[in-house]
Amino acid sequence: MDDQLPPATVSSRRYGVLIQKLRQAGLRPTRQRLALASLLFERGNQHVCAEALYDQAQRAGIRVSVATVYNTLNQFTAAGLLREVVAVPGRFYFDSNLSDHHHFFFEVTGTLEDIPSDRMVLAHLPEPPAGTAVARVDIVVRVQPVKPSPV
Amino acid sequence: MDDQLPPATVSSRRYGVLIQKLRQAGLRPTRQRLALASLLFERGNQHVCAEALYDQAQRAGIRVSVATVYNTLNQFTAAGLLREVVAVPGRFYFDSNLSDHHHFFFEVTGTLEDIPSDRMVLAHLPEPPAGTAVARVDIVVRVQPVKPSPV
DNA sequence: GTGATTGCAAATCTTTTGCACTAAA
DNA sequence: TTTAGTGCAAAAGATTTGCAATCAC
C-alpha cells in the first residue's frame, strides 16, 4: 500500500529516466505524472484507456484522480509520448508503443495486441484524394475466439 | 417543407423497394424508418453518425426524434443493413456500403470516403493469436490537406 | 513566492432507456 | 385490437472543465 512516492522521491534516482523524458516533453515531472509514466513506460508496450490506467494506479497505491488520469493521457499524447488507437467507438485508447505497427483487437475482452509492421504489409496503398496526403494508416485486425469444434 | 410522408404514403409505390428491404430485415416499415432508409439507401454510399443523420432528416422535413435516429441506426446495423465504421473515438459512424472495402478519413472535416477493396491489398495478414480467428480487418487511411507549397 | 498542476464536483457530450402515446397490421 | 414503434425526458457512460488547494521550482 505504500507503493506511493514520498515527496522527496520525486527527484530521486528511481525516476531519473522518466524525469528526463517528461522534461524533454516540456512537462513538469510531478508525482502523479511520474507514477503514471512509470505504469505506461516501464512495463513494455501498454494499451490503456483512462479507466484501465486509473484502476492500475489505484492497485499500485498511487493517489491520483480520474481527471488527472484523463489530463495526463492527453498531455502525454500531445507531447508525442503516447499515441491514440481507435479500436472501439465511444472510448479512447492509448498506446505506449510509438513505432510503426498495427493491432489485433480481441472483440470479447476489448483488449489490444501489437502487430509489428513487418508482419503486416500493404501491397497497394491507394492514391490519396487530390489535395490530401496520407497522415497515417491504421489497421485493426478484429479477432474472436474460435468456436470449439463439434464432437 | 412538406417533404414528409402522409400516412397513406407509407405503403405507396414510392417506398416499395424500401418496404421490402425493411420487411426482409424483420423490421416494420414505419414512416420514420422509411424516411431514414431513404436518406441512407437511396443516395449512394453514406457515412453518417447519428447527429448528422438527424440533421439531414430535419433538413428534409422529416419529423423524427434523436432517440429514434439512434434506435434506427442500431436496428439497421443489427439487421445487417448498415455496418459500423470505427474512425474516431467517442463517436459511432455507420456505413451504408456493405461490400468489402476500407476508408479514407479526412482529419479536418471528420468525413469518410470509401476505398474499394481492390485498390487496397494486404500482402501479409499475420496469423491470428492462438485460439482466435479473424473476424474483420479494418483499414483507415487518415489524410490531411497538403500544405500549400512554399513560394 | 509564483505559476503550474491537482482534485473535486459540476458541466458537457454522446448514446441509451423507461414509459405513456401513436401507428402498423 | 394488439403489439411494435415513437417521442420525450431522464439516465447513463465517458470525457472535459472551473476553481480553490497544493506542489514544483
Alpha-carbon gap: B50 to the closest alpha carbon of chain A (Å): 13
- Which of B54, B69, B143 lies closest to B107, judged by CA? B143
Judged against a pLDDT cut of 90, whether residue A86 lies above it is answered with yes
Q: At what angle do helices B31-41 and B16-24 cross, to 10 degrees?
A: 100
Stretch B124-132: mean pLDDT? 91
Quick check: A86 CB within 7 A of strand D? no
Specify whether the CB–CB gap between B139 and A138 falls below 8 A.
Answer: yes
Which pLDDT score is estimated for B110? 87
Judged against a pLDDT cut of 80, whether residue A151 lies above it is answered with no
Count CA atoms closer than 13 A to A42's CA, side-chain side: 13
Percent of chain A with pLDDT over 90: 74
- A55 vs A118: which has the higher pLDDT: A55
Q: Which residues contact B124 (CB under 8 A, 6 or more apart)?
A: A119, A120, A121
Give per-residue pLDDT as tens, B11-50: 456 778 899 999 999 999 999 999 999 999 999 999 999 9
Quick check: A75 CB within 7 A of strand D? no
Q: Which residues contact B13 (CB under 8 A, 6 or more apart)?
A: none
Specify whether the CB–CB gap between A29 and A23 falls below 8 A.
Answer: yes
**In CATH, what class is B14-88?**
mainly alpha
Angle subtended at Cα B91 by Cα B88 and Cα B93, rounded to the nearest 5 degrees = 85
Chain B residues touching A137 at Cβ < 8 A: 139-142
- B38 vs B120: which has the higher pLDDT: B38
The answer to whether the Cβ–Cβ distance between A90 and B89 falls below 8 Å is yes
Helix (H) or strand (E) holding B75: helix B66-78
CA B141 to chain CA centroid, nearest Å:
18
Give per-residue pLDDT as tens, B67-111: 999 999 999 999 999 999 999 999 999 999 999 999 999 988 889
- Gap from A98 CA to D8 C1', Å: 46
Phi-psi region of B85 (alpha: psi -120 to 50; beta: other; left: phi over 0): beta
Q: Nearest by CB to A92, from B84, B89, B131: name it.
A: B89
Angle subtended at Cα B25 by Cα B43 and Cα B111, rounded to the nearest 5 degrees = 35
Q: Which residues contact B54 (CB under 8 A, 6 or more apart)?
A: B64, B66, B69
- Which of B86, B42, B21, B145 lies closest to A141, judged by CA? B86
Give per-residue pLDDT as tens, A37-71: 999 999 999 999 999 999 999 999 999 999 999 99
Which residue in this structure is represented by grid cell 423490421?
B27
DSSP annotation string for B19-37: HHHHHHTT----HHHHHHH
Which pLDDT score is estimated for A109? 87
Alpha-carbon gap: B126 to the closest alpha carbon of chain A (Å): 6
Judged against a pLDDT cut of 60, whether residue A2 lies above it is answered with no
Amino acid at position A62, single letter: I
Give per-residue pLDDT as tens, B52-64: 999 999 999 999 9
- A98 vs A3: which has the higher pLDDT: A98
Query: What letter would DSSP give residue B108?
Result: T
Which pLDDT score is estimated for B27? 95
Listed as ranges, the nucleotides of chain D within 7 A of a protein C-beta are 4-10, 14-18, 23-25
β pairing state of A101-106 and A111-116: antiparallel
Residue B33's nearest nucleotide, by CA–C1', is D5
Chain A residues touching B90 at Cβ < 8 A: 89-92
Domain residue spans of chain B: 14-88, 97-143
Per-residue pLDDT band at B5 (split at 50, 70, 90):
very low
**Helix (H, G, I), strand (E, B), or coil: what is residue A100?**
coil
Model pTM score: 0.87
β partners of residue B122: A122
Query: What letter would DSSP give residue B43?
Result: S
Cα dihedral: B61, B62, B65, B66 (round 10): -80
**Burial annotation B109-121 (CB, 10 A radius, 16+ → b, else e):** eeebebbeeeebe
**Binding-site residues on chain B for chain A (CB distance < 8 A):** 84, 86-93, 104, 106-107, 113, 115, 119-126, 128-129, 131-146
Judged against a pLDDT cut of 90, whether residue B119 lies above it is answered with no
